[in-house]
Amino acid sequence: MFGAAAGPLGINFYVWSGWGVIVILTILSILATRNMKLIPSGFQNVVELLIEGLYGLLEGMLDEERIKKYFPLLCTFFLYILVSNYFGLLPFVGYTPESPEKGVGLGIFIPPTANLSVTAALAIIVFFSTHFFGVATSGLKYFKHLFTPMWWMFPLNVVEEIVRPVSLAMRLYGNIFGHELVVGTLFVMVPMLVPVPINLLGTLTGAIQAFVFTLLTTLYIAGATEKHGH
Amino acid sequence: MKFDLATFAWQIVNFLVLLAILNKLLYKPMLNMLAERKRTIKDSLEKAEAARAEADKLQSQYQAQLLQAKREAQEIIEKATKMGEDMKEDIVKNAKNEADKAIKKAQDEISREKNQAVAALREEVATLAVLAAGKVVGKAITVQDHEQMVKEFIAEAGDLKC
């Protein structure tokens, strides 16, 4: 009954799984920031540790000024991808092995990041925001970097700019989709205990992929918004 | 895996909505809180540093005051001791003077009394001698004679040692 068959406006289970992730993150945010105290405790402490850690790490790659501007975007990438990936660990979330492309049967929800359209959407946001920030920082001079180190490198530079988002999307999609597929297949063959190690691996993969995506995005933005004369 | 444009478009919308929600609900309050905490800690550290410096200053001040007070106390004690010594000497000297004076006065008195007594004795002896002589001579000697004789006698006996 639940499937990839698109509902009105093309809403399929990748889309409402994305909504599920948004709802989870919203509830967690409210829990973390409700009744915030100067001296943190409990859940506020955990979330602060995460946010502050990521902030400090990215601050090292950007700088004190730029991190303030770009942190919300970068942190949203990280949290969205992380929670999406971990979403697949919940019961009733994942592919049905019979037809992994359709996700019928058990799959009410699915990690949104296991879909190329979803990761492509994330990557295209990276692509446009990187160049937007670049132009906002240096104006039209920003496009000069396409002609470095020699003007005839231009085609290669353009290819590189296009490859970046493609590799971001492919990497994330491949990792998560592959994980879900393996878990689903194993689940059909031996439902008890055997998928557990793969799921353990999934917790690692999920965090690493979210981290890699965020770090690469930060690198791209850092390169694009670098002031001349640095 | 087919590329699905609807999923793609929805995902962009989803992400932007999530960005807005998290920015409002999570990043702003949390980063503000972190900044505020940083500021509070910095303020507290500065305040503590200032308080410590103040305490150090006060301590050295008190130490200086204590030292001063000790020195003053020492001075006062020394002064008092000296004054006591001086007073003692004065008193002793005065007492000695008084005693000397008293002794001298007493000696003067004694010698004066003695002289008086000697003089009185001489007069008495002369009178007696004249009376006796009168008895022997058998006639009364007049007052003028008598005084004349006494004076002569004393003048003669003036050189005698008593």
Q: Specify if A3 maps to a domain.
A: no
Tens of each residue's pLDDT in chain A, 230 residues: 344 455 677 777 788 888 889 999 999 999 888 877 777 778 888 888 899 899 999 999 888 888 888 999 999 999 999 999 988 888 777 766 555 455 444 457 788 888 888 999 999 999 999 999 999 988 888 888 888 888 888 999 999 999 999 999 999 999 988 888 888 888 878 778 888 888 888 899 999 999 999 999 999 999 898 876 44
Closest CA in chain B for residue A112 = B11
Structure confidence at residue B134 (pLDDT):
77
Q: Specify if A229 maps to a domain.
A: no
Task: Residue A27: give the domain boundaries.
Answer: 8-224
| C-alpha closest to that of B4 among A117, A97, A203, A133 | A117
Q: Specify if A2 maps to a domain.
A: no
Asked if B118 has any chain A CB less than 8 Å from its own CB, the reply is no
Number of CB pairs < 8 Å for A and B? 120
Asked if A84 has any chain B CB less than 8 Å from its own CB, the reply is no
CB of B15 closer than 8 Å to CB of A125: yes
Asked if B20 has any chain A CB less than 8 Å from its own CB, the reply is no
Instruction: Using an 8 Å CB-CB cutoff, list chain A residues near B43.
Output: none
Cβ–Cβ of B12/A125 closer than 8 Å?
Answer: yes
Q: What is the pLDDT of residues A153-191, one digit of tens each?
A: 899 999 999 999 999 999 999 998 888 888 888 887 877
Q: How far is CA A205 from CA A32, A73, A89, in A?
A: 25, 22, 12
What type of residue sits at position A178?
G
Q: Which residues contact B90 (CB under 8 A, 6 or more apart)?
A: none
Confidence of residue B114 (pLDDT cuts 50, 70, 90): very high
**How close is the nearest chain B Cα to the Cα of A220, in Å?**
19
| C-alpha closest to that of A110 among A181, A207, A171, A190 | A181
Q: How far apart are the first and last CA of chain B?
A: 167
**Predicted ipTM beyond 0.90:** no
Structure confidence at residue B162 (pLDDT):
54
Q: How many domains does chain A have?
A: 1
Confidence of residue B4 (pLDDT cuts 50, 70, 90): confident
What type of residue sits at position A49?
L
Q: Specify if A80 maps to a domain.
A: yes
Structure confidence at residue A107 (pLDDT):
58
Q: How far is CA B124 from CA A171, B132, B136, B143, B148, in A?
A: 162, 12, 18, 15, 15
How many beta carbons lie within 10 A of that of residue A69, not counting itself? 14
Q: What is the pLDDT of residues B13-56, one digit of tens each?
A: 999 999 999 999 888 888 888 888 889 999 999 999 999 999 99
Q: Specify if A179 maps to a domain.
A: yes
Instruction: Using an 8 Å CB-CB cutoff, list chain B residues near A55.
Output: 31, 34
Structure confidence at residue A1 (pLDDT):
30
Cβ–Cβ of A51/B26 closer than 8 Å?
Answer: yes
Q: Cis bond leading into A111, ω under 30°? A: no
pTM confidence score: 0.71
CB of B11 closer than 8 Å to CB of A22: no
Helices (H), A92-115: none
Which residues lie across from A109 on neighbouring strands?
A93
Q: How far is CA B37 from the centre of its chain?
A: 60
Q: Cα Rg for chain B, rounded, in angstroms?
A: 61
**Mean pLDDT over all residues of chain B?**
89
Q: What is the pLDDT of residues A126-138, one digit of tens each?
A: 999 999 999 998 8
| C-alpha closest to that of A89 among A172, A197, A212 | A197
Q: Specify if A230 maps to a domain.
A: no
